Amino acid sequence: MLVQPHLFIPGPTNIPEPVRMAMNLPMEDMRSPEFPKFTLPLFEDLKKVFKMKDGRVFIFPSSGTGAWESAIENTLTVGDKVLMSSFGQFSHLWVDMANRMGLKVILCDEEWGTGVPLDKYADVLAKDTDHEIKAVFATHNETATGVTSDIAGVRKVMDAANHPALLMVDGVSSVASLDMQMGAWGVDCCVSGSQKGFMLPTGLGILAVSDKALEANKAQQPRMNRCFFSFEDMIKTNDLGFFPYTPATQLLRGLRTSLDMIAEEGLENIFARHHRMAEGVRKAVDAWGLKLCAKEPKWHSDTVSAIYVPEDIDSAEVVKTAYYRYNVSLGVGLTKVAGKVFRIGHLGALDEVMIGGALFGVEMALRDCGVDIRLGSGTGAAAQYFSETATKSANSRDDSNLKAA
Ligand SMILES: *Cc1c(COP(=O)(O)O)cnc(C)c1O
């Protein structure tokens, strides 16, 4: 392969060179007396990304799914009632996990392309005057459909009902790309992983928890079985800068560099860049005459777009064509929308030219598969948008010499 594959799936995302280089180092002694000097600031800097006002962050050598599990088994107990909603493959899988772990799920089964139903949550919570519901779950960004939900809104309806339940949020494809304000929104457990907004390989399950979640952990009666994902074991060793078992040291070195890059760009700039990249993609989708899976603008995700192909076309063929002919990886449609949508992941280390490349590949693949679009229409619309708003360019240098030169 002459050049590296062009990766536009919604995780794993592209790894910046400094992050990749930071992971290329000899194995190190994870029990050395120097190790805590490296790990303790990692925990502190992660808290800034989640905008926490209290609590702590756990880093498991797992994928995000492990952090999902840890959040449940450390704060809830078998038979607990929880309020959840399903509107895509990832929110569906968390519901499935909760059922399998013995929680009693009150489920809002929503149309794919929509998100967390605030009205229904408000109704259910208002009726739960005995506070039998122990936790409210929300998937911040549904990666299967490209839908972002309003977590501040979930907090509002919980407060309006004066409801003391824990608020559990899946932020795997949002944290470090979309604004996540755990402190201000009163989020108690926020799940993430290394291979999306954090721009790392898969392998770290990152779980941020509030003081309230830590109290629930202590008060839990009876305790759910747990071992690998136990908060208590982690806390005992993490407080000293160590881990209860072998940590993924190279990934932690990569995380150090990723957090430094995030701090350097600045969270608000990162969110603005993601919005800009997403807008470019949405301009292209409009120009192609295609529709997003997200039903309304309020659901639009700035990290991933799921795009319907015309009914007589198989979206899996579009994804395959892009892969084999143009070395471009796109996301396939999952389960309910398999064959109907393809996805462009636009999160992590990306700029305008990379998005342009993705759209260029998509246009050719769509045309090759018989979709009636004009080549250049989508890329042109995105270029026009990017160029008209170029002062906000994602990767631009100081341009004071541009005119002089
Ligand atoms: C990717 C993803 C997951 C699963 O994470 P893994 O790291 O694959 O275990 C869960 N939820 C959402 C929203 C995701 O995007």
Express each pLDDT in 215-263 by its tens digit: 999 999 999 999 999 999 999 999 999 999 999 999 999 999 999 999 9
Tokens of residue 303, six digits: 């990290």
In the reported structure, the alpha carbon of residue 396 is separated from the centroid of ligand 1 by a whole-number distance in angstroms of 31
Residue 136 pLDDT class (50, 70, 90 cuts)? very high
CA angle 362, 293, 86 (to 5 degrees): 130
The answer, yes or no, to whether any atom of ligand 1 lies below 6 A from the CB of 75, is no
Mean pLDDT score across all residues of the chain = 97
For residue range 196-227, what is the model confidence (pLDDT) as tens digits?
Answer: 999 999 999 999 999 999 999 999 999 999 99
Q: Provide mean pLDDT across the span 374-400.
A: 87
Report whether the peptide linkage leading into residue 12 is cis, meaning its omega lies within 30 degrees of zero: yes
Ligand 1, pocket-test mutation among 85, 97, 172, most atoms within 8 A of CB = 172
Looking from the CA of residue 141, the nearest atom of ligand 1 is 13
The owner of tokens 């005992």 is 236
Q: What is the tally of helices (H) and strands (E) in the chain? A: 14, 14
Ligand 1, pocket-test mutation among 13, 60, 86, 143, most atoms within 8 A of CB = 143
In the reported structure, the alpha carbon of residue 385 is separated from the centroid of ligand 1 by a whole-number distance in angstroms of 31
Find the length of the chain.
Answer: 405
For residue range 315-353, what is the model confidence (pLDDT) as tens digits?
Answer: 999 999 999 999 999 999 999 999 999 999 999 999 999
Q: 401: how many CB neighbours lie within 10 A of its CB?
A: 8
CA quadruple 366, 367, 371, 376: dihedral positive or negative? positive
Q: Residue 355 to residues 92, 141, 265, 294, 369: CA-CA distances in angstroms?
A: 29, 20, 19, 20, 21
Q: Provide mean pLDDT across the span 20-39.
A: 97
In the reported structure, the alpha carbon of residue 304 is separated from the centroid of ligand 1 by a whole-number distance in angstroms of 13
Domains of the chain: 17-263 (3.40.640.10), 266-397 (3.90.1150.10)
